[in-house]
Amino acid sequence: MIMKPLGTKPWCGYGISRVFRALFYSTEALAAPSPRTDTLYRRISRLGNPKISMTPVLNQWVEQGKDVNASELHKIIKQLRKYRRFTQALQNVFVKRKERGERVSGWIRAMVISEWMSQMNYALSSGDIAIRLDLISKVYGLDQAEEYFNSIPESSRVDKIHGALLNCYAEKKSLEKAEDIFQKMKELGFIEHALTYNVMLSLYSRMGKHEKLRILIQEMEENGIEYDKFTFNIWLNAYAVTLDVEGMEKLLSQMEADHQAVLDFHSYFIAANGYLKAGLPEKAWIKLKRSEQVIGSKERKIAYEHLLTLYAATGKKEEVYRIWNLYKDVGRVYNSGYLSVLSSLVKLDDIDGAEKILEEWESANTLFDSRIANLLISAYCKKGLLEKAFALVERVVNSGKELDGSIWQCLATHCRLNGQMAKAVESMKKAVSANGPVWKFSRSTFAACLEYLKKEGDLEAAHEISGLLRERGLCSNEIYNRLVDYLNSDKDSGALDAMEGG
């Protein structure tokens, strides 16, 4: 499938996303306006499942005679990309207003976004094309992104579009292709500032190519390309991940002394992480205190969420509670905040404190997030507090909510370790039934459950759970057939050993 570019028509500026920002990125539900206000933004925000098409929502909005505001569409696009709802963000939707009176308002371009755009003869700006290239890569992969890039007339492949392709390669860690397009951009004179260099620096850092990173920084100096704060942070992180404390400290001191270098809390977070990895928690604590002094008013929520987990890593429980109180003073508490503080308290073995936070969350008017309950259930299991774990599970289930397969499997595993095999079997059955694509199936726990059922003579239950396993694609037909042979005879088919080793 080749996505064809469609001319030029401005809508908004485009900035190549900085890959390295993911180090400190926190996801949250799309913010919604006041419940009293019915807006297109609010309606789309309610689409919790990223696979749900926005086309019916947009069509309904237009059929009701409502305007499609360009600035609101821009905000929706930005949010969809920000919260990684890329499939929706690729649905370039063209909607038609109802005829009113004697004239038709015409086609309104709602860049929220459908693959219909490839069939519509509409003009796109270079920024639009760059965004589309980025989304195609995320949804369909690099091959399709390259096809789309190659379909763009060479005269239209401006710096933004080359930069978008470079960013696609960097995001997918396609090093050789990234280096090729980067070299081409230099030859075309498309690199005049640090942003494009930062993409390559981040790629080298993430792939452990630190010598190449140093060479590229030297090239920036020779070409008169000024560093920005992102350049410094990538460089700083390269020292941190390699435990080069001396190099990290030297660069940080250089950054602090350079009035042109705008330090932010990210820089100190990176240094704190480096100290923690090097086993120097007190030095990490000092940098975290320093980071608080440079947190801007608009950055407090995201910064505090990371501070919670970093202070927990230093073992400073009092600091975790202090930051949590500051976080709550900022405004509404979202699930990401509860996740940060709960994981921090669990890490500090403060189960009593975690229970109080869970009560706060349950009483707050927030969307249900199974990860929050999972944190405490998992903590109970690891401490052998299975009664508390099952009590919390019952509370969640009785409230009409569902738990994912990973937490049921956690319960099954710890029940097995505690000799409670009947509960282990029941939990494993629910784990397999609730199976999703994001959890790692424990073959050893399943094998233990199957062996228990055979010894108890409950072959019907054993066959049932084995069948579920195959239906969910968690074992091959060969393994399934060997399991059936094992259940139907006294022979050891080797199926359980094969599962435990997998």
Determine if the pTM surpasses 0.75: no
Helix count and strand count (H, E) for the chain: 26, 2
Question: E strand or H helix at 121, and its extent?
Answer: none
For residue 475, tell me if it sits in a domain.
Answer: yes
Mean pLDDT of the chain: 79
332 within a domain of the structure (yes/no) = no
Last residue of a domain, one of 166, 191, 216: 191
Question: Is residue 480 a part of any domain in this protein?
Answer: yes
The Cβ of residue 32 has, within 10 Å, a number of other Cβ atoms equal to 14
The CATH number for 122's domain is 1.25.40
Q: Is residue 20 part of a domain?
A: no
Q: Is 494 left (phi over 0), alpha (psi -120 to 50) or beta?
A: left
Residue type, position 391, single letter: A
Domain that holds residue 453: 414-501
Task: Select from 135, 158, 191 the last residue of a domain.
Answer: 191
Q: Note down pLDDT in tens along the chain; length 502 residues.
A: 333 333 333 223 333 333 333 333 333 333 333 445 777 767 766 665 555 566 677 677 767 877 665 556 556 666 666 655 544 444 432 322 222 232 222 212 222 333 323 333 445 678 778 877 887 787 778 998 999 899 988 888 999 999 999 999 999 999 999 999 999 999 999 998 899 999 999 999 999 999 999 999 999 999 999 888 899 999 999 999 999 999 999 999 988 887 666 788 999 999 999 999 999 999 999 999 999 999 998 899 999 999 999 999 999 999 999 999 999 999 889 899 999 999 999 999 999 999 999 999 988 867 888 889 999 999 999 999 999 999 999 999 998 888 888 899 999 999 999 999 999 999 999 998 885 555 678 888 998 999 999 999 999 999 999 998 888 878 888 888 888 888 888 766 566 676 655 4
Output the pLDDT for position 482: 86
Residue 95 per-residue DSSP state: E
CA-to-CA distance for 347 and 317, rounded, in angstroms?
A: 10
Sequence-separated (6 or more) residues with CB below 8 Å from residue 400: none
Look-up of token digits 């969910």? 472
**DSSP bridge partners of 107:** 96
Q: Which of 157, 191, 225 is at the close of a domain?
A: 191
User: Is residue 70 assigned to a domain?
Assistant: yes
Assess if residue 213 is contained within a domain.
no
Rounded Cα distance, 216 and 211, in Å:
9
Q: Is the Cβ–Cβ distance between 379 and 346 less than 8 Å? A: yes
Residue 122 domain-assigned? yes
Q: Please report whether residue 316 resides in a domain.
A: no
Q: What total number of domains does the chain contain?
A: 2
